[in-house]
């Protein structure tokens, strides 16, 4: 019983670490896209939306690569 709890705790800890790492990568990607789009003739709302879309596409691409790789 104790071993099961320890394994479950370690798995949960690893899962939360993966989520935090993924959130950090997404935040960094968003920041890069938002800054890069500053060169385009877009208003701030359009830059925000395009940055979110690009960030989501990159996250989905990384996720599918991780599943298959």
pLDDT band for position 63 (50/70/90)? confident
Task: Find all residues with CB under 8 Å of 33, minimum gap 6, and list them.
Answer: 50, 51, 54, 55
- Given a contact cutoff of 8 angstroms between Cβ atoms, the answer to whether 57 and 35 are in contact is no
Q: What are 7-57's pLDDT values in tens digits?
A: 566 565 555 556 667 778 888 888 898 999 999 899 999 999 999 898 888
Count of domains for the chain? 1
User: Domain containing 21: what range?
Assistant: 2-68
pLDDT at 43: 92
Q: 49, 33 in Cβ contact below 8 A? A: no
CA-to-CA distance for 39 and 33, rounded, in angstroms? Answer: 11
Looking at per-residue pLDDT, the higher value among 57 and 64 belongs to 57
């Amino acid at each position: 019983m104790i071993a099961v709890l320890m394994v479950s705790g370690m798995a949960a800890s690893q899962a939360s670490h993966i989520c935090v790492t993924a959130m950090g990568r997404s935040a960094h990607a968003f920041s890069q896209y938002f800054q890069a789009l500053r060169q385009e003739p877009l208003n701030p709302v359009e830059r925000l939306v395009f940055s979110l879309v690009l960030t989501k596409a990159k996250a989905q691409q990384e996720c599918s690569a991780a599943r298959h790789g």
